[in-house]
Amino acid sequence: MQIAAHLGYPDHVKEYGHRRDSLSSRINEAFYDSTGHIYGRGTQLDMAYPLLTGVVAPENVASVSAALLERTETEYGGHIAAGLTGIPIISEWATISHNADFIYRMLKKEDYPGYLYMLRSGGTSTWEDWDAPRSYLHNCFNGMDSWFFQALGGIIPLSPGYENILIDPQIPEGLDRVKVTREIPQGTVTVEWNRTGRGYADFTVTVPANVSPFIKGSDVRRKRNSNTYTGRIELPSQVSSTEDLR
């Protein structure tokens, strides 16, 4: 639909819109359990994918999101419960929905399964499986990487080629400071924030000269004769529950 709209084919936009709505309806009829607010078997991937793709009806987004967070704790002990194909989907949903606490808590788990479990077990790269029975060098498992610069750093492209970017850092509970750098075609974007202990975090953002940033926060100021901006983020700035996801 987006490509058709960009190319100026309104009839195609309408046709694909009908197809999307029809497919979403069929998916909901076949896989959605309104009693438990779960899709499919209720796995993290089964829940995150329809949320990410817009299959979930707007009035059900909050309840399905809450079920995903709750099941992660009750069914999976607060761990990541997906593989190399599911992790990018889960992390992208968490970034878009501002559920930084959800990802951060899972990443901090030191026992199986998880990235820290790999490190504690002597891993120096990401494995093919959480318990590494096969490949010990499987970069496909690096799907979580984008969460660090898109959620913690808040660096999101608003136009092709990063000519316009959004800076909207998410600050999970328990993390006091972050510095993220992101290489883009025009140069390096740097975002750094620090909790102050006074209900907000101070941040500094530096962008290449030919990039226009839209920076979320308060008291945002541009330093004289530079492409560096400062400001503050009121806490909590992310949606750690699901009340505002409707």
The Cα–Cα gap between 207 and 184 comes to 10
Pairing relationship of beta strands 155-157 and 187-195 according to DSSP bridges: unpaired
Spatial CB neighbours of 102, under 8 Å, sequence gap ≥ 6: 69, 72, 94, 240
The Cα–Cα gap between 131 and 78 comes to 17
Tens-place pLDDT, residues 174-187: 999 999 999 999 99
* Confidence at 141, pLDDT banded by 50, 70, 90: low
Tens-place pLDDT, residues 77-111: 999 999 888 999 999 999 999 999 999 999 999 99
The Cα–Cα gap between 172 and 169 comes to 10
Residue 242 is predicted with a pLDDT of: 37
Which two tokens mark 20?
């999307």
Query: What is the phi/psi pair of residue 81, to 5°?
Result: -130, 50
Q: How far is CA 190 from CA 60, 158, 173, 207, 227, in A?
A: 37, 17, 22, 7, 11
Domains of the chain in sequence order: 34-146 (no CATH), 153-234 (2.60.420.10)
Q: Is the pLDDT of residue 245 over 50?
A: no
Q: Are 1 and 20 in contact (CB under 8 A)?
A: yes
Residue 83 is predicted with a pLDDT of: 87
DSSP 155: E
Tens-place pLDDT, residues 39-84: 999 999 999 999 999 999 999 999 999 999 999 999 999 999 998 8
* Confidence at 217, pLDDT banded by 50, 70, 90: very high
Q: Are 135 and 128 in contact (CB under 8 A)?
A: yes
